[in-house]
C-alpha cells in the first residue's frame, strides 16, 4: 500500500489501528488523512472536477459552487436497505429492519473486501457539535468518495480540530463507506449501536453516505442518548427575538415535505417589524438537561443538506442567499450554458431549455421533471444571513417550547398546546402526515411518523417513548409542548392558512404561552387560542377561514383517536401504558359529549 499525501496525522493508537485494519480489508491504493484545510479543499475540488465528479458552475455568479449528478438508481435514502444490528431483534423494535451483527459484519465484510482497489481511502475526522462542547461526539468516516469527503467538509466541523478533540481516547464513531459499483443489490446501510459503528456500502447519495447526519447524529445518537440520558432528535432549532430583544428558543419536529428548513429560516411578515427568527439548526437537535433544570439544545451539524425543488424567494429567501456561494448542488437541473442550476419552484420564468438531472436535454415542453424531486444543496451554515450567534456555543441554547408538526388536510388544527409533558409526548408519538396522491395513489391515509423519527430511531421505539417520558423527572423547567398544522384544507382542497412567514403569528402565541402570558381555551384534545389570541392584524383572511384553520372538529378527532389504536398496537408490551391511556382518556371525554 502506497501512502500519498499524508501519514497518519494521529498519535491515537486506537484510531491508527482501526484505520490500518479497515485499509487491510478494503485494500485501497492509498490512504489520505484529511485535515480540513483550505488548501486541501482546493486540491480535492480540482481533482473531483478533473475526474468529472464535480462540474464547476459560473464562478462569477456562484463562487465556490459545484454541481454533481449521482447515479440515477441512487437518489434517496433507502429505508428497506437500512438496518439496526443489535444483538436481538427486539432491541431494534417493530419499526426498524434488523440484521444479526455477526451476519451483517460477515455479509458486508465480504463486499468491503478489496472494494477500494484502484481507489483512495479518505480518512475524514469530524465533530458533531461545536468544538469543546460536552455534547459533541467525534466520528471518523473512511470513504472512497471524494464527493462524500467534500460534503462532510460542509456538513460537519471536519479535520484536524476533530482529531485534537479526540486526543488519545477510543471514544469515536467508526464509519466505513464504499461506493462500490452503486448496485442496488449490493447496497446496505448497517448500524451497530453497541460498537458505535456504521458500515455503508453501494450508495453515493446523501443520507446513506454522509455518515455524521442521519446515521450518527440520529440513529446511533438516539441509542447513546437513551444510555447517557439525553435526546437526539429530528428537530430544527430556532430563536425568536422580540423587538425588545427577548430571545426564546424553540425545537420542532416535522416529517418530510412539511417545510422544516423553511420554518427554521423564516422571515416574519411586515406586521412583525422588529421581530427576528435566528436559525440554530434545520434538521437535528441534541438536547440535554442543564444544571438549571432546563432543556438545552445544540445543532450537531455545520451545514444544510436541503431539498432544492420548491426553494425560492417566496418560500425561503434566507436559503436562496445561503446557496449563492461554496455550495454543492446534487441532481438539480443545469442551465443550458452549464453555469447555473435550476429546479421546479425556483423564482422566475421556466427556462426554455435545460439539462435535466440525468444529463439529458430538457425543454419547457417536457413532461418529466428537470430536477429530481429529491435534489439537494449542501451549503455551509455560515452563509445563512439569519444564523444564530450561539451555534458554536458549547452549552447550546435553552429550549422553551417543543413543536410537533404534521401535514394534515383535516382534524389537526393550526395549533394545539398539550395539557402537560406526558400529553405532549403522546402528541409526538401520534404525529403523522396524510399521503398525497403522488406518493401512493391513496389520498387521506395518515402515515404515522412519531416525533418524525420513524426512519431514524436506532432502537425499539417503545423504549424511545419511555425515554422521552422519563426525561420529565430530570427537567425542573420542561419546555411546553405544541402541535401545529400549516396544511389544513377546505372542502375544495384549498389551503386555509397562508403559511410561510405568516406562521410567525402562531409562533408568537407559542412563545407567549411558553412564557405563561397569554390566554387559551381548553378543548377536549388540548389548549387552543381563544378568538383574538392569535395576532392576525394586517392579514387578509376571513373570520370563517380562521375558524376553518383553527377549529377542533370532535367527530374528526373521534376517528383520529380510533385510528391511533392500531398504530400503537405494534409496539406490544414495549409501549408505555400511559400513551394508550391518553388515547383512551381523550376518546372517553369525546364520547362523553354524546356525539
Ligand atoms: O414550507 C412551508 N411552510 C412552512 C414555512 C415556514 N410550505 C411548503 C411545504 C412544502 C415543503 C408550505 N406550504 C406552508 C408552510 O407554512 N404552507 C403551505 C401550503 C400553502 C401553499 C400555498 C399557499 C398557501 C399555503 N398560497 C399561495 O401560494 C398563494
Ligand atoms: Mn431530515
Q: What is the pLDDT of residues 135-170, one digit of tens each?
A: 999 999 999 999 999 999 999 999 999 999 999 999
Structural contact between residues 116 and 25, judged by C-beta atoms closer than 8 angstroms: no
Structural contact between residues 451 and 429, judged by C-beta atoms closer than 8 angstroms: yes
Residue nearest to atom 26 of ligand 1 (CA): 498
Take residue 136 and report the three cell numbers written for it: 459533541
Reported as type and span, the H/E element at residue 123 is: strand 120-128
Pocket test for ligand 1, best of 486, 501, 502 (most atoms within 8 A of CB): 486
Q: Which ligand is nearest to the CA of 308?
A: 1
pLDDT at 449 over 50: yes
Residue nearest to atom 18 of ligand 1 (CA): 499
What are the φ and ψ backbone dihedral angles of 521, each rounded to 5 degrees?
Answer: -115, 135
Is the CB of residue 82 below 6 angstroms from any atom belonging to ligand 1?
no
What is the structure's pLDDT at 3? 40
Residues of the chain with pLDDT > 70: what percent?
Answer: 97
Express each pLDDT in 73-118 by its tens digit: 999 999 999 999 999 999 999 999 999 999 999 999 999 999 999 9
Q: Rounded to whole angstroms, how far apart are CA atoms 138 and 128?
A: 6
β-strand pairing of 361-363 with 231-233: unpaired
Instruction: Give the pLDDT band (50/70/90) at residue 4.
Output: very low
Q: Rounded to whole angstroms, how far apart are CA atoms 408 and 432?
A: 8
Structural contact between residues 166 and 175, judged by C-beta atoms closer than 8 angstroms: no
Q: Please choose, from the candidates 466, 488, 591, 588, the residue with its C-alpha nearest in 3D space to the C-alpha of residue 541.
A: 488
What's the rounded mean pLDDT across residues 437-465?
88
Pocket test for ligand 1, best of 238, 499, 501, 510 (most atoms within 8 A of CB): 499
Q: How far is the CA of 314 from the centre of ligand 2 (A)?
A: 21
CA angle, residues 209, 210, 211, in degrees to nearest 5? 85
Is the CB of residue 259 below 6 angstroms from any atom belonging to ligand 1?
yes
Q: Rounded to whole angstroms, how far apart are CA atoms 210 and 77?
A: 11
The minimum-distance atom of ligand 1 relative to the CA of 495 is 25
Q: Rounded to whole angstroms, how far apart are CA atoms 259 and 207?
A: 18
Length of the chain: 595
Q: Strand (E) positions, 441-574?
A: 446-448, 480-484, 521-523, 526-528
Instruction: Give the pLDDT band (50/70/90) at residue 437.
Output: low
What is the structure's pLDDT at 305? 98
Instruction: Give the pLDDT band (50/70/90) at residue 1.
Output: very low
Q: Rounded to whole angstroms, how far apart are CA atoms 485 and 470?
A: 27
Express each pLDDT in 549-578 by its tens digit: 999 999 999 999 999 999 999 999 999 999
Is the CB of residue 257 below 6 angstroms from any atom belonging to ligand 1?
yes
CA angle, residues 222, 503, 309, in degrees to nearest 5? 70
Q: Which ligand is nearest to the CA of 318?
A: 1
Express each pLDDT in 190-221 by its tens digit: 999 999 999 999 999 999 999 999 999 999 99
Take residue 295 and report the three cell numbers written for it: 432543556
Please give the torsion angle defined by the CA atoms of residues 344, 348, 349 and 350, in that order, rounded to the nearest 10 degrees: -20
Contacts of residue 73, Cβ cutoff 8 Å, sequence gap at least 6:
182, 184
Express each pLDDT in 265-280 by its tens digit: 999 999 999 999 999 9
Structural contact between residues 27 and 116, judged by C-beta atoms closer than 8 angstroms: yes
Is the CB of residue 3 below 6 angstroms from any atom belonging to ligand 1?
no
pTM recorded for the entire structure: 0.97
Q: Which ligand is nearest to the CA of 260?
A: 1
Q: Strand (E) positions, 34-119?
A: 55-56, 66-68, 82-84, 97-98
HEC per residue, 340-392: CEECCCCCCCCCCEEECCCCCEEECCCCCCCCCCCCEEEEEHHHCCCECCCCC
Express each pLDDT in 235-267 by its tens digit: 999 999 999 999 999 999 999 889 999 999 999
Residue nearest to atom 7 of ligand 1 (CA): 259
Pocket test for ligand 1, best of 272, 308, 313, 315 (most atoms within 8 A of CB): 315
What is the structure's pLDDT at 438? 59
Is the CB of residue 268 below 6 angstroms from any atom belonging to ligand 1?
no
β-strand pairing of 397-405 with 247-253: parallel
What's the rounded mean pLDDT across residues 273-294?
98
Q: State in Å, rounded, how far the first CA of the chain is from the last one.
A: 76
Q: Please choose, from the candidates 14, 6, 10, 12, the residue with its C-alpha nearest in 3D space to the C-alpha of residue 33.
A: 6
Single out the catalytic residue among 65, 215, 258, 457: 258
Q: Rounded to whole angstroms, how far apart are CA atoms 33 and 13?
A: 15
Structural contact between residues 194 and 86, judged by C-beta atoms closer than 8 angstroms: yes
Strand pairing partners for 289? 295
- Which SS3 state, helix, strand or coil, does residue 185 take? helix
Residues of the chain with pLDDT > 90: what percent?
Answer: 95
Mean per-residue pLDDT over the chain, rounded: 96
Contacts of residue 244, Cβ cutoff 8 Å, sequence gap at least 6:
none
What is the structure's pLDDT at 8? 66
The minimum-distance atom of ligand 1 relative to the CA of 314 is 28
Largest Cα span, the chain = 79
What is the structure's pLDDT at 211? 98
Is the CB of residue 267 below 6 angstroms from any atom belonging to ligand 1?
no
Reported as type and span, the H/E element at residue 45 is: helix 38-50
pLDDT at 444 over 90: no
Strand pairing partners for 439? none
Q: Which ligand is nearest to the CA of 486?
A: 1
pLDDT at 486 over 70: yes
Express each pLDDT in 6-55 by its tens digit: 566 688 999 999 999 999 999 999 999 999 999 999 999 999 999 999 99
Residue nearest to atom 28 of ligand 1 (CA): 498
Catalytic residue flag (residue 85) = no
Instruction: Give the pLDDT band (50/70/90) at residue 506.
Output: very high
Take residue 356 and report the three cell numbers written for it: 435535466
In angstroms, the Cα distances linking 14 to 116, 149, 168, 192, 569 are 22, 22, 8, 18, 44
What is the structure's pLDDT at 435? 78
pLDDT at 441 over 70: no
Instruction: Give the pLDDT band (50/70/90) at residue 2.
Output: very low
What is the structure's pLDDT at 10? 80
How many Cα neighbours within 13 Å face the side chain of 66? 24
pLDDT at 5 over 90: no
Amino acid at each position: 500500500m502506497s501512502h500519498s499525501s499524508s501519514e497518519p496525522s494521529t498519535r491515537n493508537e486506537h484510531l491508527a489501528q482501526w484505520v490500518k485494519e479497515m485499509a487491510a480489508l478494503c485494500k485501497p491504493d492509498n490512504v489520505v488523512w484529511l485535515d480540513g484545510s483550505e488548501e486541501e479543499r482546493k486540491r480535492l475540488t480540482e481533482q473531483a472536477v478533473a475526474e468529472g465528479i464535480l462540474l464547476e458552475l459560473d464562478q462569477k455568479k456562484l463562487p465556490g459552487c459545484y454541481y454533481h449528478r449521482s447515479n440515477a438508481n441512487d437518489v434517496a435514502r433507502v429505508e428497506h436497505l437500512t438496518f439496526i444490528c443489535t444483538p436481538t431483534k427486539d432491541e431494534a423494535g417493530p419499526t426498524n429492519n434488523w440484521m444479526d451483527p455477526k451476519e451483517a459484519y460477515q455479509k458486508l465484510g465480504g463486499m468491503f473486501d478489496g472494494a477500494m482497489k484502484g481507489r483512495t481511502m479518505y480518512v475524514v475526522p469530524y465533530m458533531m457539535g461545536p468544538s469543546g462542547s460536552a455534547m459533541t461526539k467525534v466520528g471518523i468516516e473512511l470513504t472512497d468518495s471524494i464527493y462524500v469527503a467534500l460534503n462532510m467538509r460542509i456538513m460537519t466541523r471536519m479535520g484536524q480540530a476533530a482529531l485534537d478533540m479526540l486526543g488519545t481516547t477510543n471514544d469515536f464513531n467508526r464509519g466505513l463507506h464504499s461506493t462500490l459499483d452503486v448496485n442496488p443489490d449490493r447496497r446496505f446501510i448497517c448500524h451497530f449501536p453497541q460498537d458505535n459503528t456504521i458500515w455503508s456500502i453501494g450508495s453515493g447519495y446523501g443520507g446513506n453516505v454522509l455518515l455524521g447526519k442521519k446515521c450518527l447524529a440520529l440513529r446511533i445518537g438516539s441509542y447513546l442518548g437513551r444510555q447517557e440520558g439525553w435526546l437526539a432528535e429530528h428537530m430544527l432549532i430556532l430563536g425568536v427575538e422580540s423587538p425588545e430583544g427577548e430571545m426564546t428558543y424553540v425545537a420542532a419536529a416535522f416529517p418530510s415535505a412539511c417545510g422544516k428548513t423553511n420554518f427554521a429560516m423564516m422571515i416574519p411578515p411586515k406586521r412583525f417589524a422588529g421581530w427576528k427568527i435566528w436559525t440554530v439548526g434545520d434538521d437535528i437537535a441534541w438536547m440535554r438537561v442543564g444544571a438549571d433544570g432546563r432543556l438545552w439544545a445544540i445543532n450537531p451539524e455545520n451545514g444544510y443538506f436541503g431539498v432544492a425543488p420548491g426553494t425560492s424567494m417566496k418560500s425561503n429567501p434566507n436559503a436562496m442567499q445561503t446557496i449563492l456561494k461554496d455550495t454543492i448542488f446534487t441532481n438539480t437541473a443545469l442551465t443550458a450554458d452549464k453555469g447555473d442550476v435550476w429546479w421546479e419552484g425556483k423564482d422566475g420564468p421556466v427556462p426554455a431549455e435545460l439539462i435535466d438531472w440525468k444529463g439529458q436535454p430538457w425543454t419547457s415542453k417536457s413532461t418529466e421533471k428537470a430536477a429530481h424531486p429529491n435534489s439537494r444543496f449542501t451549503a455551509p451554515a455560515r452563509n445563512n444571513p439569519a444564523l444564530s450567534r450561539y451555534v458554536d456555543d458549547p452549552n447550546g441554547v435553552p429550549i422553551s417550547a417543543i413543536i410537533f408538526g404534521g401535514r394534515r388536510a383535516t382534524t389537526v388544527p393550526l395549533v394545539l398546546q398539550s395539557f402537560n409533558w406526558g400529553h405532549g409526548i403522546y402528541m409526538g408519538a401520534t404525529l403523522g402526515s396524510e399521503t398525497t396522491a403522488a406518493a401512493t395513489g391513496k389520498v387521506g391515509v395518515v402515515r404515522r411518523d412519531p416525533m418524525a423519527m420513524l426512519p431514524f430511531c436506532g432502537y425499539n421505539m417503545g423504549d424511545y417513548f419511555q425515554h422521552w417520558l422519563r426525561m420529565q423527572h430530570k427537567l425542573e423547567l420542561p419546555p411546553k409542548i405544541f402541535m401545529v398544522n400549516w396544511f389544513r384544507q377546505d372542502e375544495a382542497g384549498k389551503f386555509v392558512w397562508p403559511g410561510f412567514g405568516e406562521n410567525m403569528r402562531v409562533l408568537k402565541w407559542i412563545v407567549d404561552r411558553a412564557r405563561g402570558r397569554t390566554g387559551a381555551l381548553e378543548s377536549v384534545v388540548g389548549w387552543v387560542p381563544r378568538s383574538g389570541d392569535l395576532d392576525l392584524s394586517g392579514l387578509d383572511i376571513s373570520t370563517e377561514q380562521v375558524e376553518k384553520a383553527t377549529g377542533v372538529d370532535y367527530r374528526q378527532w373521534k376517528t383520529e383517536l380510533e385510528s391511533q389504536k392500531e398504530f400503537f398496537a405494534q409496539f406490544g408490551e414495549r409501549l408505555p401504558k400511559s400513551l394508550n391511556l391518553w388515547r383512551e382518556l381523550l376518546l372517553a371525554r369525546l364520547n362523553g359529549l354524546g356525539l
